[in-house]
Amino acid sequence: MTKSQPLVSIITVVFNGDKYLEQTIKSVLGQTYTNVEYIVIDGGSTDNSVSIIKKYTDQIAYWISEPDGGISAAFNKGLHRATGEIIGLINADDWFELDTVEKVVASINNNDVLYGNMTYWKNGSKDVVVHGRYDYLNHEMAVNHPTVFVKKHCYERYGYFDITYKFAMDYDFLLRLKVNNCSFLHVPYVLANMRWEGLSDKQWYKACKEALQIKNKYLPGKRLFNHIYFLKQITAIRIAKFLQKMHLESIVHFYRRKLSPIKKFHQ
């Protein structure tokens, strides 16, 4: 490892994710930046996930398949194995742009955390590009987690993922870094891609409830504001889903593009 080409660890967690797993793996192994340590944590899949992983064992630094305690526990298992100076996480239904790691290494410098923009896909087509906002983390998960790369020393100093959270564990970790004054850098590039059908999207209300608990933990002096924001957030999501059901997506698009604090630009 050199200063100009630090080792970057990428961790993928999967459980019965054979539908998209190979796309994820290829997006990591095909990176233009080559000093990458790839770690795959499988939670004891019963589909073809393990067979897919085995196809690439000569390019994967470490993999294991065994039951675990969920996404947070799987993340932590991978983090304990990671030796890179910079660490990124990409789940089994998401994928990187081909030059993502190269852009990260070129830009992160002395910052603790780097994050970028993310494309959401719907029914196989690009839907929106979301621009993250670190300054809005006190309100909600305003950073696109698949685009996040964190220096290893942050995990060592501030801890790994809290296994008590099933949906908003990434928000808990990033808000923890923010309240501890870690430095965040946004880069204006699409670094990762995600499908709308992810776990937190399907379980959006539970994810919002966990986010409220997390804010009350780290920002206890703002409990009233946190609760008011929670009510505002779930109301906005319900209205958006109703408008989409009524085929009034243009109103939702206008809000996301012009009024939302976290901008979503439709493609």
pLDDT category at 1 given cuts 50, 70, 90 is very low
pLDDT category at 198 given cuts 50, 70, 90 is low
Domain membership of residue 46 (yes or no) is yes
Domain membership of residue 12 (yes or no) is yes
Domain membership of residue 203 (yes or no) is no
Residue 123: predicted pLDDT? 84
94 vs 12: CA distance, rounded Å: 9
Domain membership of residue 179 (yes or no) is yes
CATH at 73: 3.90.550.10
In this predicted structure, the answer to whether residue 199 has a pLDDT above a threshold of 50 is no
Residue 253: predicted pLDDT? 61
What secondary structure, in 3-state letters, does the chain show? Answer: CCCCCCCEEEEEEECCCCCCHHHHHHHHHCCCCCCEEEEEEECCCCCCHHHHHHCCCCCCCEEEECCCCCHHHHHHHHHHHCCCCEEEECCCCCEECCCHHHHHHHHHCCCCEEEEEEEEEECCEEEEEECCCHHHCCCCCCCCHHHCEEEHHHHHHHCCCCCCCCCCHHHHHHHHHHHCCCCEEEEEEEEEEEECCCHHHHCHHHHHHHHHHHHHHHCHHHHHHHHHHHHHHHHHHHHHHHHHHCCCHHHHHHHHHHHCCCCEEEC
In this predicted structure, the answer to whether residue 13 has a pLDDT above a threshold of 60 is yes
Residue 257: predicted pLDDT? 59
Domain membership of residue 155 (yes or no) is yes
Tally of domains in the chain = 1
Residue 36: predicted pLDDT? 98
Average confidence (pLDDT) over 13-17 = 96
Domain membership of residue 253 (yes or no) is no
Q: For 54-110, how does the pLDDT look when each residue is reduced to its tens digit (9 = 90+)?
A: 999 999 999 999 999 899 999 999 999 999 999 999 999 999 999 999 999 999 999
Domain membership of residue 266 (yes or no) is no
- What percentage of the chain reaches a pLDDT higher than 70? 88
- CA 186, 187, 189, 193 dihedral sign is negative
Domain membership of residue 251 (yes or no) is no
Q: Is the pTM of this model over 0.95?
A: no
Which residue range is the domain that position 188 belongs to?
A: 8-196
